[in-house]
Amino acid sequence: MLERLEEKFTSLLTERATMVAKRRSQDDGDDLSIFLGPTPIPSSSLDDTDEVDDFGRAISKPDPLQERRKRRVARVARRQLRSSRQTGEEEGFSTDSSLAPSDANAYSAALQSLTRKKKEILSDVGAEEFRDPGKGRWRTWRESYSDSYIGAWGGLGVVSVWEFWMRLESVGWNCIDVWSCLISSI
């Protein structure tokens, strides 16, 4: 169960990063088109043959100029929202890694679902010392019976035992979001 949650979280982070990178690339292309002029239309798209879907309907291609305008309006709206949230932070330190509201809601819902599933992993465990590694008897064993602890390679056992809890706690943790929250609070 833990490995599936880790894979799901990794795929969520990858999908989010791909969406932001694609949007940034399109924004950069839009800025270049302002500076260098519109990008040339590929010869393949000059043909009058439209693509068709599975039912034989023609799929209309979006107008690049209108798509560029929509992206520009969305970028200005994100920037205004970002600047309204900031308090005294210089413009150069802001980032445009936010998602569109619908994507942000879906991402948030997926993270909440992941958190619920994470809590379910240990829901059937009754002993408190198995649910919380700090309540275990490792320290007592190490301090009171050090010969036995060393002879049984207790230090290596502790690492193996604590790995599970560390992996469980790190599911759903995004270090980049934590650092951005810490930096903005300074």
Kindly state the average pLDDT of the residues 28-45: 73
Rounded Cα–Cα distance for residues 115 and 171 (Å): 8
Give the closest residue to 30 by CA, choosing from 79, 67, 60. 67
Q: Report the pLDDT value the prediction gives residue 7, as an integer from 0 to 100.
A: 94
Residue 23's Cβ-count burial label (10 Å; 0-12, 13-18, 19+) is buried
Q: Where are the domains of the chain?
A: 1-41+61-86+97-120, 128-186
Asked if residue 179 has pLDDT above 60, the reply is no
Q: Which of the pair, 48 or 9, is modelled with greater confidence?
A: 9
Asked if residue 103 has pLDDT above 90, the reply is no
Lowest mean pLDDT among 6-20, 52-66, 113-127: 52-66
The overall average pLDDT reported for the chain is: 77
Chain segment 41-87, per-residue pLDDT in tens: 665 555 555 677 777 777 777 777 888 888 888 888 877 877 776 65
Chain segment 147-168, per-residue pLDDT in tens: 888 888 776 677 777 788 888 8
Cβ within 8 Å of residue 60, ≥6 positions away: 50
Q: Report the pLDDT value the prediction gives residue 5, as an integer from 0 to 100.
A: 93
Contact 52, 58 (CB under 8 A): yes
